[in-house]
Structure 1
């Protein structure tokens, strides 16, 4: 795919997010992946709003991260199922990003999550990028994250195995994060934990990937918070009605 570069508005000569493809034109989602991304984003948004009162952060859901310029252009991108980048604005020149361009931003994601749809080999592929003349090996996804994009945390989630493994970038290489006594993986910079939640969401009971706070409390979605508040109000109303009934029985019902 060829592109036309507006040199006047982009004097660096490198394409920006408006000039790079936002899709490779293939279907990559199954029926679980979109709700899973929404569940992760919805429940952790209050945490991000607290960390970033200025609103300077972005979340990508199956969005491209461009790490090199290639032909065709899509070969220079990875599209994690979910990722979070701190301290960058959600828009550029009033436009939502079509992709995240490393040579334009220079800020690595803090965490990248991949949802396994096959056997997990692609997400764990450590094949390095090697060149010989005009030929080069296709680098593996794990290698690209570890050596080029370099998110501090990389998670591989397998719904079919009800499991997640989390890697932390330490001394330029990924090391498995040990599970804690709640069988969660701490993401310390955010004060949260990542783990498996075997319950019903979006009309499907599955081992969903979810967040907890550092005390082990599940981070709720907006619907769950509203439902919890409704149940709290119902309990308060029930207690009030019981009290009124007791007062009536004692002939002490207050005048309204």
Structure 2
């Protein structure tokens, strides 16, 4: 009989991150939330009527097949401008191109394997068992203007721009970011803690290079500002505070 001490149990580097169906890399959910939370004020300003859609692991149907799911792809994150948030009062169960007609402006894939799936350019006629490469789908079928491939293990993001019906690999600007011009933002890698893990996260910046903060981060910044103001006020005399119309007891 083999004792427990003799067993060699696999650690997290030896276990699969995905089985191809529902098991996900644990980081995918917080990464999607980070992208959506921080970009929301920008998107809301672009669409005051609320006509936009942000999808996370939501199926995009780009062709009709049997079975139907073979005609869909599910990006880890994508944004579609100028479409209503709901259809007939219901949230979308998927995004159907032949009903919507508007393609996503940007699609982002989070690499869990070696990246071959996200860079697969296999067209329908050559796909083994009817499979079609993701890269080909976004470039030639859906025609997504911007396609980003994010690899956390390499602290890397590749961004492709659709030019003359073909993807061109974008070069980063002087800040190491990739401008997504129609959105007025930049995409790049940020090393830091979110929410409690230090990793090279994929994040947004504005066109001036300022990091777009999440709601929690904005709250923390405001608290720090208020704290600094209170500390400065406490250094003033009661007479100076009264001249400013501030009750000294409010600073306690």
- TM-score in terms of structure 1 length: 0.84
Q: Distance in 2 between matches of 1:232 and 1:100?
A: 42
CA RMSD of aligned residues (A): 2.3
1:129–1:136 Cα contact (<8 Å) kept:
no
Q: Hey, what does 1:195 align to over in structure 2?
A: 188
Q: Hey, what does 1:30 align to over in structure 2?
A: 25
| Deviations 1:193-247 (CA, angstroms, capped at 9, x unpaired) | 0000000001100000000001000000000011111111111111110113796
1:96/1:25 CA distance change after superposition, 3 Å: farther
Which structure 1 residue ranges, 5 or more long, are not aligned? 1-23, 249-253
Q: Hey, what does 1:41 align to over in structure 2?
A: 36
Out of 58, 61, 74, which is 1:63 matched to?
58
Q: Hey, what does 2:122 align to over in structure 1?
A: 127
Q: Give the deviation of 1:120 after TM superposition.
A: 0.3
Q: Distance in 1 between matches of 2:126 and 2:109?
A: 27
1:246/1:33 CA distance change after superposition, 3 Å: farther
1:80 aligns with 2:75: yes
1:245/1:29 CA distance change after superposition, 3 Å: farther
| Deviations 1:63-83 (CA, angstroms, capped at 9, x unpaired) | 100001111111110000000
Any residues of structure 2 matched to 1:51-200 within 5 Å, and which?
51-130=46-125, 137-200=130-193
2:238–2:248 Cα contact (<8 Å) kept:
no
Which structure 2 residue ranges, 5 or more long, are not aligned? 1-18, 242-246
Secondary structure of the residue that 1:122 maps to in structure 2?
A: coil
* Structure having the larger proportion of residues in helix: 2
Secondary structure of the residue that 1:47 maps to in structure 2?
A: helix
Secondary structure of the residue that 1:243 maps to in structure 2?
A: coil
1:237 aligns with 2:226: no
Q: Give the deviation of 1:107 after TM superposition.
A: 0.2
- TM-score in terms of structure 2 length: 0.85
**Where do 4+ consecutive residues of structure 1 move more than 4 Å?**
245-248
